[in-house]
A and B are shown apart, each in its own frame.
Chain A
Amino acid sequence: NAGVMQNPRHLVRRRGQEARLRCSPMKGHSHVYWYRQLPEEGLKFMVYLQKENIIDESGMPKERFSAEFPKEGPSILRIQQVVRGDSAAYFCASSEGPGQTYGYTFGSGTRLTVV
């Protein structure tokens, strides 16, 4: 069981480019959550997805950010036209059922640097 796999581990993008972050949940987990961590800050919830559905996106910025979790393949967090303020660590977590009941397993994160 490889755990929650995130790639890439590090991503460098120039301002205005697109960033795609991938998350493969643990085997058997169909619930995926994305969090952002700014330097010296706590993790902040972004979006909660189940297969093919967005359950809660209340933490997602209204523009430039989108997330999907297709029937096949990993969950993708997409950031269009990146700006310096998007530089952060992005963590994905997965759970077997609703996380508050089943608990969360986190990946190692993707560190995005916008130059």
Chain B
Amino acid sequence: KNQVEQSPQSLIILEGKNCTLQCNYTVSPFSNLRWYKQDTGRGPVSLTIMTFSENTKSNGRYTATLDADTKQSSLHITASQLSDSASYICVVSVYGGSQGNLIFGKGTKLSVKP
């Protein structure tokens, strides 16, 4: 069964600190992996997209890694800001699957405190 598991479920950090969010998946065959940020009451916004051959991709203070062998990804946030408080969702696409059939994780809820 295609699944995406994220950890931790929630995380509280102080402003300025770094943090790393984890994503494990069992989706097969794999097409690509995306990280989204979802603010409360809003739709998800794409942060990064990684294909099978990519190990690392950065977007400002966000750095995503992908290990296709162990089927793990991480999202590292550097020098956190209050505006980083949101849910971070890992999404995996099935290769050859329906164009709309993404597999979503439940997300990690990050709270950045002053």
Q: Which residues of A contact B (CB under 8 A)?
A: 4, 6, 31, 33, 35, 40-45, 47-48, 55-56, 58-59, 91, 93, 98-100, 103-109
Size category of the binding interface on chain B: 20 to 34
* Contact indicator A45/B101 (Cβ below 8 Å): yes
Q: Are B104 and A43 in contact (CB under 8 A)?
A: yes
Q: How far is the CB of A3 from chain B (nearest CB, A)?
A: 9
Residues of A contacting B43 with CB < 8 Å? 4, 6, 91, 93, 106-109
CB-CB under 8 A from B36, the residues of chain A are: 106
Q: How far is the CA of A6 from the CA of B42 in the complex (A)?
A: 11
Residues of B within 8 A of A40 (CB): 106
Q: What are 6 A-to-B residue pairs whose CB atoms are below 8 Å?
A: A42-B4, A45-B100, A55-B98, A59-B101, A99-B99, A106-B43
Given A91-B43, A100-B32, are A42 and B105 neighbors across the interface (CB < 8 Å)?
yes
At the interface with chain A, which of B11-19, B44-52, B59-67, B68-76?
A: B44-52
Q: A48-B101, A58-B98, A98-B99 are in contact. List 19 more A-B contacts (CB 8 A).
A: A4-B43, A6-B43, A35-B104, A40-B106, A42-B4, A43-B89, A44-B104, A45-B101, A55-B98, A56-B100, A59-B101, A91-B43, A91-B44, A99-B100, A99-B102, A100-B31, A103-B46, A108-B41, A108-B43
Shortest Cβ distance from A40 into B: residue: B106
> Which B residues touch A107, using CB under 8 A?
43
Contact B44 A106 (CB under 8 A): yes
Q: Are B42 and A104 in contact (CB under 8 A)?
A: no
Set of chain A residues within 8 Å of B107, measured between Cβ atoms: 42
Decide: A55 and B42 in contact? CB cutoff 8 A. no
Contacts of A99 in B (CB 8 A): 99-100, 102
Chain B residues 3 to 57 lying within 8 A of chain A, measured CB to CB, are 4, 31-32, 36, 41-46, 49
- Given the known interface contacts A42-B105, A43-B44, the answer about A31 and B98 at a Cβ–Cβ threshold of 8 Å is no
Q: Among B4, B41, B93, B105, which residue has the most Cβ atoms of chain A within 10 A?
A: B41
The one of B42, B93, B101, B104 in contact with A42, judged by C-beta atoms closer than 8 angstroms, is: B104
Q: How far is the CB of B30 from chain A (nearest CB, A)?
A: 12
Indicate which residue in A4, A6, A31, A104 contacts B46 across the interface (CB closer than 8 Å).
Answer: A104
